[in-house]
Amino acid sequence: MKNIQRKENFDQVCVLPGSLLPDDQVEQFTKHFADNGFRVHHLETLKTAPDLDEEGRTVKGTGGRSDIFFAIHNDDIMKFAIPRLSMGIKWIEDVLDNESRGSLYPDRVKKYRSW
């Protein structure tokens, strides 16, 4: 599978961990953010891989969490930076840089980085 192509001027990818977004609710998701002054482009929802222990073995009972990936319009990034924190939304760069033992996501998501 390939990454979803981002719309023009939607470079910064965000991750909303532990959330489901059925296909029939994507428009409502986008509208919710628009109503609050933020233009977003939903990309995909991914299931996390299991955690790995110190020896690189799968930790039983981990993984399978649904995380929503979406991009925010470049002109809205600065005004979104602080409010996103109260919503539990993270920049993709922070998520990937804080993984200590293996990635929770397929390698392809690294291409979502903008910095």
List the domain boundaries for the chain.
Answer: 12-112
Phi and psi for 67 in degrees, rounded to 5? -125, 130
Q: What is the pLDDT of residues 54-94, one digit of tens each?
A: 888 889 998 989 999 999 999 999 999 999 999 999 999 99
Q: What is the pTM for the complete model shown?
A: 0.92
Task: Locate 24 and state its tokens.
Answer: 């029939």
Structure tokens at 82: 């602080």
pLDDT greater at residue 102 or residue 21: 21
Give the Cα separation of 40 and 72 in Å (integer): 4
Q: Which two tokens stand for residue 80?
A: 């979104």
Q: Where does the pLDDT of residue 102 fall: very low under 50, low under 70, confident under 90, or very high at 90 and above?
A: confident
